[in-house]
């Protein structure tokens, strides 16, 4: 592995925001600063697209799953239809899964689909990528019970909750949010999480770091997240990139 290369543990390159230049951009990223990307599924269609992208680039891997915002009446049937995608050699995780109480999607259904996917991950011996928005109480309760391995992505809860998750064996994903002015809680968490449990992510096309906030995000911009964490932890940007890349390969078993 080359020093200072970027590992983006959470991206959505299937998004229409990349339609005009997806292949050109990914070729450029992999020829340049990026070592690996895990593209996250959110629906049946985007999970299929994640697998397709992973087949096209050596450094690209797929997560397959149903996002809580995309959960509906047919989700439990859809989970059956996702099953063959877990046999693809570059599928490395069940994701993006979780709970999102910001929108009105029925909570019981979200919980049922999340728990079914946590069970599936255990059965397949795969890590999960977890989305938690305004659902910290139910999330903690479920994670305490299910004890999954994987990444808590774009974490917005308290430092204490993060540390309990770390104790459980989970990794904490940091992205553009940590560079925002109002990121006090995220900064507190980034100061407390052990370095061997920190991974970097874009969630692109969303959440571009400062000074690109509001623009389309891509994996090359992770250097701004690494720089912020380097400042906080008294390390060099290179050190942060290489230790988080090592963490990413460990959590995804790459
Ligand atoms: Ni995401």
28-56 pLDDT, tens digit per residue, is 999 999 999 999 999 999 999 999 999 99
CA 11 to ligand 1 center in whole angstroms: 6
3-class secondary-structure state, position 135:
coil
CA 12 to ligand 1 center in whole angstroms: 7
CA 16 to ligand 1 center in whole angstroms: 14
* Mean pLDDT value of segment 51-78: 96
Binned at pLDDT 50, 70 and 90, residue 157 comes out as confident
CA 81 to ligand 1 center in whole angstroms: 21
Count Cβ atoms within 10 A of the Cβ of residue 107 and give its class: 0-12 exposed, 13-18 middle, 19 or more buried: middle
* Mean pLDDT value of segment 68-94: 96
Binned at pLDDT 50, 70 and 90, residue 103 comes out as confident
* Separation CA 129–CA 152 (nearest Å): 6
* Separation CA 182–CA 168 (nearest Å): 28
Binned at pLDDT 50, 70 and 90, residue 1 comes out as very low
* Separation CA 56–CA 87 (nearest Å): 17
CA 43 to ligand 1 center in whole angstroms: 12
CA 9 to ligand 1 center in whole angstroms: 10
Q: Is the peptide bond before 211 cis (omega within 30 degrees of 0)?
A: yes
CB neighbours of residue 37 within 10 Å: 29
Q: Which residue has the tokens 């479920």?
A: 142
pLDDT of 179 > 90? The answer is yes
CA 227 to ligand 1 center in whole angstroms: 22
- The most distant pair of C-alpha atoms in the chain lies apart, rounded to whole Å, by 49
CA 130 to ligand 1 center in whole angstroms: 9
CA 167 to ligand 1 center in whole angstroms: 23
CA 250 to ligand 1 center in whole angstroms: 20
203 φ/ψ angles, rounded to the nearest 5 degrees: 60, 30
DSSP state of 105: S
Q: How many CA atoms lie within 13 A of 220 on its CB side?
A: 11
Q: For the chain, which residues make up each domain, given as ranges? A: 6-251
CA 151 to ligand 1 center in whole angstroms: 12
pLDDT of 3 > 90? The answer is no
CA 223 to ligand 1 center in whole angstroms: 19
The sheet that has 91-100: what strands, in order across it? 6-11, 34-40, 60-64, 91-100, 128-133, 150-152, 171-174, 198-200
β strands within 41-161, DSSP E: 60-64, 91-100, 128-133, 150-152
Look at domain 6-251 and name its CATH class.
alpha beta
Compute, in degrees rounded to 10, the torsion defined by CA atoms 112, 94, 96, 98. 30
């Amino acid at each position: 592995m080359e020093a200072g290369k970027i590992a983006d543990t959470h991206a959505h390159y299937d998004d229409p925001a990349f339609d005009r230049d997806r292949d050109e951009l990914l070729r450029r990223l992999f020829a340049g600063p990026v070592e690996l990307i895990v593209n996250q599924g959110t629906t049946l269609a985007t999970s299929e697209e994640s697998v397709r992208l992973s087949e096209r680039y050596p450094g690209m891997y797929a997560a397959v799953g149903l996002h809580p915002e995309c959960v509906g009446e047919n989700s439990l049937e859809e989970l059956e239809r996702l099953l063959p995608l877990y046999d693809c050699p570059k599928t490395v995780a069940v994701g993006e899964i979780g709970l999102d109480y910001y929108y009105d999607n029925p909570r019981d259904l979200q919980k049922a689909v999340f728990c079914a996917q946590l069970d599936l991950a255990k059965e397949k011996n795969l890590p999960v990528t977890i989305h938690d928005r305004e659902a910290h109480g139910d999330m903690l309760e479920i994670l305490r019970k299910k004890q999954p391995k994987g990444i808590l992505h774009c974490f917005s809860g308290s430092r204490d909750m993060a540390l309990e998750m770390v104790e459980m064996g989970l990794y904490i994903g940091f992205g553009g949010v940590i560079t925002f002015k109002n990121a006090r809680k995220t900064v507190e968490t980034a100061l407390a999480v052990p370095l061997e449990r920190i991974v970097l992510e874009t969630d692109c096309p969303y959440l571009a770091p400062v000074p690109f906030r509001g623009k389309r995000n891509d994996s090359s911009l992770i250097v701004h997240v690494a720089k912020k964490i380097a400042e906080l932890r008294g390390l060099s940007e290179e050190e942060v990139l290489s230790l988080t890349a090592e963490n990413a390969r460990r959590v995804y078993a790459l």
